Every structure is written in structure tokens, then in C-alpha cells.
Amino acid sequence: MQIVLLIISNIVTQIALFFIWTFQTDGGPYKINVRWVDLLFV
């Protein structure tokens, strides 16, 4: 189960990074990325 959750969280992270990178082009995605990771791995 942990492997499945890890894969799902990885996919969600990739999708989130894609949208963040697409809509945030001013060099500020990294802070939002950290918040996404915090939300995923709380």
C-alpha cells in the first residue's frame, strides 16, 4: 500500500509542478512547490 501511495503522490506532485510551472513563470514556483510537498507528506 505504501508503494501505491508513493506512486500516486508522485503523480500528483508532477501534475502540480506542471500547472505551477505553466502559470508561474516569474521564478516563484519553488515556494509553492514546497507547500505542495508539505501538503502531500504531512
Q: pLDDT tens across 21-39, in order?
A: 666 555 555 555 566 666 6
Q: Which band of pLDDT confidence, cut at 50, 70 and 90, is reported for residue 18?
A: confident
The boundaries of the domain holding residue 19 are 2-40
Find where cell 510551472 sits: 21
Does residue 6 register a pLDDT over 70? yes
- Compare 17 and 8 and report the one with higher pLDDT: 8
Considering just the CA atoms, what is the radius of gyration of the chain in Å?
11
Residue 33 CA, distance from chain mean position: 6
pTM over 0.85: no
The answer to whether 29 and 17 have CB atoms below 8 angstroms apart is yes
What average pLDDT score do residues 1-22 get? 84
Which cell is 7 given? 506512486
Does residue 19 register a pLDDT over 70? yes
**Can you tell me whether residue 41 is helix, strand or coil?**
coil
Count of domains for the chain: 1
Helices and strands in the chain, H and E counts: 2, 0
